[in-house]
């Protein structure tokens, strides 16, 4: 697994949930009206499990991923991460947990344009305290996993859309997170490239025995995951 390969000392997959989304609600105020985007949403994701999240634009997929990723605090309910209630944590504790345990992938790659693919994959590792040598070795192995071993020196502008997303995928797992949150990771790609990139995302996450919650418009891709949920009227419905 990724953990063994990179010498990261973390627990192996178990039956206990990595993340429990517990009776979560999110409201936004818009003038006089209160938008109820999520209403009492609950979901448990176990180690090694990949869950798909579908629903039309505006249904609350990104909102749920932000809450799950501890980027915001919910209006109601809580996120429990490996048994710890995240609503009881300070902002600093939440940030630390997020940096160490959660990887993010977005629709647009968000790679740093001035840096090479390898540097982009090294960056989170350097922030986490790895040496330059360790980070470069790991970045090379990760780029190799997604067929980009020859592209390490290339900047994002020299890569295709699919290649940039593959770099973003391995960057998200460079610190071997327990959980990957992906928000329409193939939403900006043509259908064929979408399928290829999605398959690579699935294989690196499965290979690393990581857990994931992946929002996508594409039901066909979502069907390749372990379970699929749809957000309907603020509630989660298992498909
Ligand atoms: P999706 O990702 O499924 O397209 P979002 O989670 O981005 O949906 O948005 C769900 C709804 O919540 C949308 O109507 C959006 O306008 C609204 N929304 C999201 N964030 C905010 C915010 N910070 N303030 C007000 N409304 C918001
Ligand atoms: Mg969204």
The tens digit of pLDDT for each residue in 137-187 reads: 999 999 999 999 999 999 999 999 999 999 999 999 999 999 999 999 999
The ligand 1 atom at the shortest distance from the C-alpha of residue 29 is: 25
SS3 45: strand
- Kindly report the average pLDDT of the chain as a whole number: 92
C-alpha to C-alpha distances, 117 to 120, 142, 209, 212, nearest whole angstrom: 5, 11, 24, 23
At residue 121 the predicted structure's pLDDT band, cuts being 50, 70 and 90, is very high
- Smallest CA separation from ligand 1 atom 13, residue: 58
CB atoms within 10 A of CB 220: 11
Whether 58 lines ligand 1, by a CB cut-off of 6 Å, is: yes
Give the per-residue pLDDT at 107: 87
Radius of gyration of the chain (CA): 18
Whether 62 lines ligand 1, by a CB cut-off of 6 Å, is: yes
CB atoms within 10 A of CB 134: 15
Whether 107 lines ligand 1, by a CB cut-off of 6 Å, is: no
* Among 95, 2, 93, residue whose Cα is nearest residue 47: 2
Residue 88, exposed/middle/buried by CB under 10 A (0-12, 13-18, 19+)?
exposed
Please tell me the distance from the alpha carbon of residue 121 to that of residue 170, in angstroms, as a whole number.
7
C-alpha to C-alpha distances, 189 to 107, 161, 196, 219, nearest whole angstrom: 9, 7, 10, 15
Antiparallel, parallel or unpaired: β 235-238 and 227-232: antiparallel
Whether 38 lines ligand 1, by a CB cut-off of 6 Å, is: no
For residues 69 and 128, which has the higher predicted lDDT (pLDDT)?
69
- Smallest CA separation from ligand 1 atom 21, residue: 28
Q: Which ligand is nearest to the CA of 31?
A: 1
- Smallest CA separation from ligand 1 atom 11, residue: 58
Whether 56 lines ligand 1, by a CB cut-off of 6 Å, is: no
Please tell me the distance from the alpha carbon of residue 186 to that of residue 89, in angstroms, as a whole number.
33
Residues 6+ apart with CB under 8 A from 214: 50, 51, 52, 53, 180, 181, 182, 185, 201, 222, 225
Residue 123 Cα to ligand 1 midpoint, Å, equals 30
Residue 225 predicted with pLDDT over 80: yes
- Smallest CA separation from ligand 1 atom 25, residue: 28
Residue 14 predicted with pLDDT over 80: no
Whether 116 lines ligand 1, by a CB cut-off of 6 Å, is: no
Residue 60 Cα to ligand 1 midpoint, Å, equals 6
Whether 55 lines ligand 1, by a CB cut-off of 6 Å, is: yes
- Smallest CA separation from ligand 1 atom 22, residue: 28
Question: HSE of 83 in the Cβ direction (CA atoms, 13 Å)?
Answer: 2
Contact between 236 and 42 (Cβ < 8 Å): yes
Give the per-residue pLDDT at 133: 96
Q: Strands, E, within 59-210: which ranges?
A: 76-81, 84-85, 102-105, 179-183
- pTM tops 0.75, yes or no: yes
Residue 232 Cα to ligand 1 midpoint, Å, equals 14
């Amino acid at each position: 697994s990724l953990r063994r390969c990179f010498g990261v000392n973390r627990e192996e997959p178990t039956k206990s949930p990595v993340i429990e989304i517990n009776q979560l609600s999110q409201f936004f105020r818009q003038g006089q009206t209160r938008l109820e985007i999520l209403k009492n949403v609950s979901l448990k994701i176990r180690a090694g499990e990949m869950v798909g999240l579908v629903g039309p634009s505006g249904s609350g997929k990104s909102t749920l991923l932000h809450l799950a990723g501890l980027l915001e605090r919910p209006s109601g309910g809580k996120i429990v991460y490996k048994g710890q209630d995240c609503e009881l944590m300070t902002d600093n504790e939440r940030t630390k947990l997020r940096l160490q345990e959660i990887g993010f992938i977005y629709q647009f790659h968000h790679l740093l344009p001035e840096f090479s693919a390898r540097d982009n994959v090294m960056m989170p590792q350097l922030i986490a305290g790895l040496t330059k040598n360790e980070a470069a070795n790991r970045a090379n192995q990760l780029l190799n996993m997604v067929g980009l071993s020859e592209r390490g020196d290339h900047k994002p502008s020299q890569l295709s859309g699919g290649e940039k997303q593959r770099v973003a995928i391995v960057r998200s797992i460079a610190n071997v997170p327990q959980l990957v949150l992906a928000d329409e990771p193939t939403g900006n790609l043509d259908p064929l490239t979408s399928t290829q990139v999605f398959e690579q995302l699935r294989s690196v996450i499965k290979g690393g025995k990581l857990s994931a919650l992946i929002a996508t418009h594409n039901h066909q891709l979502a069907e390749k995951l372990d379970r699929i949920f749809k957000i309907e009227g603020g509630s989660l419905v298992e498909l």
